[in-house]
Amino acid sequence: MPKQTFIVNGERVTVKVADNVRVLWVLRDLLGVHGPKYGCGINVCKACTSHINGKAFNPCSVRVGDLERDDEITTIEGLPDTVGKDLHPMQEAWIDRDVPQCGYCQPGQIMAATALVNKVHAEDREITEADLDTIRNICRCGTYNRIREAVKQGASKM
């Protein structure tokens, strides 16, 4: 059984698991990191959205064998550490706007939102309604308008 080594939320981990197991299951079933959720397993619902080397990705669609030793995966659990605080500004905006209903999609929503805002800021511009329209994460409770408000509010503090 191959050993897989990579970094999760700042800690280097080594797991014995076959190359083709998707990163989502390695995180959830083997490492007990439950922030990224399963909602489809085919990179559609985006409930598992996390970051790899600072960019959004969906661990349901990446084989663990394709990770490099120095690849840094950040899940919702590790997001506050990226800004050295108890909560990332996007999480604070989410609480302030009372975004979650059932909460199942919210880790993925927040990880997608922070990556989107970072991308937009890197292009030296502010987030637009058209940017918000591109967010693919499903919220089956339908709290989309509060998500839009929170992304804008979080962006203003990032």
Interaction of residue 32 with other proteins, rule CB under 8 A: yes
Q: Does residue 15 belong to the site contacting other proteins (CB under 8 A)?
A: no
Q: Supply the DSSP symbol for 38.
A: P
Q: Does 77 bind other proteins (CB under 8 A)?
A: yes
Is residue 121 involved in binding other proteins (CB under 8 A)? Answer: no
Strand partners, 51: 56, 74
Q: Is 80 in the site for other proteins (CB under 8 A)?
A: yes
Listed in order, strand segments (DSSP E) in the chain are 3-8, 11-16, 50-52, 55-57, 72-74
C-alpha 150/C-alpha 88 separation (Å) is 12
- Beta-strand runs (E) in 71-125: 72-74
| Residues near other proteins (CB under 8 A), total | 76
Q: How far is the CB of 23 from other proteins (least distance, A)?
A: 8
* Binding residue for other proteins, selected from 4, 37, 127, 152, defined by CB under 8 A: 37
Using an 8 Å Cβ cutoff, are 54 and 81 in contact? no
CB of 38 to other proteins, least distance (A): 7
Of the candidates 79, 33, 39, 76, the one whose C-alpha atom is nearest the C-alpha of residue 61 is: 39
Binding status of residue 39 toward other proteins by CB under 8 A: yes
| Closer by beta carbon to other proteins, 5 or else 61 | 61
Distance of CA 136 to the CA centre of its chain: 13
89 binds other proteins (CB under 8 A): no
- Told to check if 47 binds other proteins by CB under 8 A, we report yes
Question: Looking only at residues 127 through 156 of this chain, which bind other proteins when binding is defined by CB under 8 A?
Answer: 129, 132-148
158 touches other proteins (CB under 8 A): no
Contact of 89 with 129, CB cutoff 8 Å: no
